[in-house]
Amino acid sequence: MKYRSITGVHDILPPDTYDWQFVEQVARELFELYNFREIRTPIIESADLFERGLGEVTDVVQKEMYIMEKGDDRICLRPEATASVVRAMLQNNMHKTASINKLYYIGPMFRHERPQAGRTRQFHQLGVEMLGSLDPTVDLEVIALAMEFLGKLNIGGVKLKVNSLGCRNCREKYREVLRRSLNNSLGRLCETCKERYNRNLFRILDCKEQQCRAVIQNIPGIQDYLDEDCGQHFDFVLRGLKKMNIEYDVNPLLVRGLDYYTRTVFEITCDKLGAQDAILGGGRYDNLVEEFGGPDMGASGFALGIERLLMVLGKLELLPKKEKPLQLFICAAPGGAEVKTRRLTVRVAYRLRKKGIYCDTDFENRSMKAQMRAANKFNAQFVLIVNDASIRSDRGELKNMATGEQFEIDINDIPKKILGE
Ligand code: HAM
């Protein structure tokens, strides 16, 4: 083999593509029901957009971005789409024509991470962003939609974890508390967290290393340091979730990996996944629009990893049957004016498809036996055999593959026969 796809990047082949279409279809229908509208932003953006938007010290920006330089441009493959959506809204003045923008997207993202089960370098997200309001009802709308989507797919074993990171002021206060509390235990942290202490303090809280977990469990949570407004906001969200019968756990250690988050953050994990158990993550980002030069405006959203979702759906056998049987396979009976008959098969297929018949034919000039094998392989419900005489008569032999019954038929009558019209 001369060429292979690059590490951590995969082909999605038929029939698996039908699983993708299924999930995308359920998402589109539900997101539209909630009055979100689709946005498609470019896959390449200025690298600066994410460096600024996600935070210089995040893992994504420090280690995982695919960056290319072309002339004076420093561009990258998007590692996520929230920053892109904010940019697109501002660039196209969408915030001026609507006070709230409810947008969703489906597409590939790129992060140069170490590939493992549930983690690839090109992966796909389904996401929503709701921009324009600081009101906590937005958090409820977004979280409810996330839960409803997984509910629609009948996924069990999911857990919603929520936390509040407060606003900038709360975080500054908490940063000091954290710094002081961790100062004496620095020696017990893993090497990465020792580094994080100086440049990415909050990420220490969700380190998975046992030694760090032991230290972290004695650290006061951010909840005690939320100011009145942030405290009330979080309270509103938690009460709202209860009223909507959405089960959740408050996890004071949930900090999320991107710097733009403020106040409510959430993650949904699934016990059917391995180490990479986060199927979906999101939260508020009330400063990002302003940071990108727009007005002061609240926003919240989430993104779900489609690969991880499909892993869960596959394990739980929740994916619908992939291939639908072909309605008709058209065979050319070998004989005198073979060339003409073969041309006829394509012509008949062309005609019948115009009438909505899902059909196919032989393209390899094969024997009758091989053509019948092909029909079986496609699970064809009917087979139409045409021969030289069919060219003039416009008639052929139709065989019902389930009953074995075979009879002569006018080709014009086939749609009626197959579709039962
Ligand atoms: P994120 O947590 O970085 O958030 O990614 C969201 C989801 O994408 C994860 O929960 C996971 O399912 C999937 N994912 C991330 N990285 C990979 C990977 N390397 N391989 C496979 N799946 C992956 C965001 O991207 C935010 N933009 C979400 C958001 C939207 N927050 C507000 N609005």
> How many angstroms is it from 331 CA to the middle of ligand 1?
49
Distance in angstroms (rounded) separating the CA atoms of residues 351 and 346: 9
Distance in angstroms (rounded) separating the CA atoms of residues 127 and 146: 9
Distance in angstroms (rounded) separating the CA atoms of residues 361 and 375: 8
Question: Tokens at residue 416, please?
Answer: 């009626």
* Residue 73 near residue 45, CB atoms below 8 Å: no
> How many angstroms is it from 286 CA to the middle of ligand 1?
19
**DSSP code at position 317:** T
pLDDT of residue 337 exceeding 70, the answer is no
Q: 338 falls in which pLDDT band (50, 70, 90)?
A: low
Distance in angstroms (rounded) separating the CA atoms of residues 421 and 413: 10
For a mutational test of ligand 1's pocket, the pick from 23, 36, 39, 109, i.e. the residue with the most ligand atoms closer than 8 A to its C-beta, is 109
Ligand 1 close to Cβ of residue 237 (< 6 A): no
Distance in angstroms (rounded) separating the CA atoms of residues 28 and 233: 30
Distance in angstroms (rounded) separating the CA atoms of residues 399 and 401: 6
pLDDT top residue among 313 and 203: 313
Tens digit of each residue's pLDDT (9 = 90 or more) over 289-322: 999 999 999 999 999 999 999 999 999 999 998 8
Beta pairing partners, 206? none
For a mutational test of ligand 1's pocket, the pick from 66, 150, 258, i.e. the residue with the most ligand atoms closer than 8 A to its C-beta, is 258
Averaged pLDDT of the chain: 95
Nearest atom (ligand 1) to Cα of 83: 27
Tens digit of each residue's pLDDT (9 = 90 or more) over 20-30: 999 999 999 99
Distance in angstroms (rounded) separating the CA atoms of residues 325 and 327: 6
Ligand 1 close to Cβ of residue 257 (< 6 A): yes
> How many angstroms is it from 114 CA to the middle of ligand 1?
15
Q: Spell out the residues 6+ positions from residue 54 whose beta carbon is closer than 8 angstroms to its own.
A: 60, 61, 79, 80, 83, 258, 259, 260
Tens digit of each residue's pLDDT (9 = 90 or more) over 247-266: 999 999 999 989 999 999 99
Tens digit of each residue's pLDDT (9 = 90 or more) over 349-374: 999 999 999 999 999 989 999 999 99
Single-letter code of the amino acid located at 290: E
Question: Tokens at residue 327, please?
Answer: 């309605």
Q: Helix, strand, coil proportions of the chain in percent (round to 5)?
A: 45, 20, 35
> How many angstroms is it from 127 CA to the middle of ligand 1?
9
- Which of 86-100, 115-129, 196-210 shows the lowest mean pLDDT across its residues? 196-210
- Pick the residue whose CA is nearest to atom 15 on ligand 1: 305
> How many angstroms is it from 279 CA to the middle of ligand 1?
8
Strands 73-77 and 262-270: unpaired
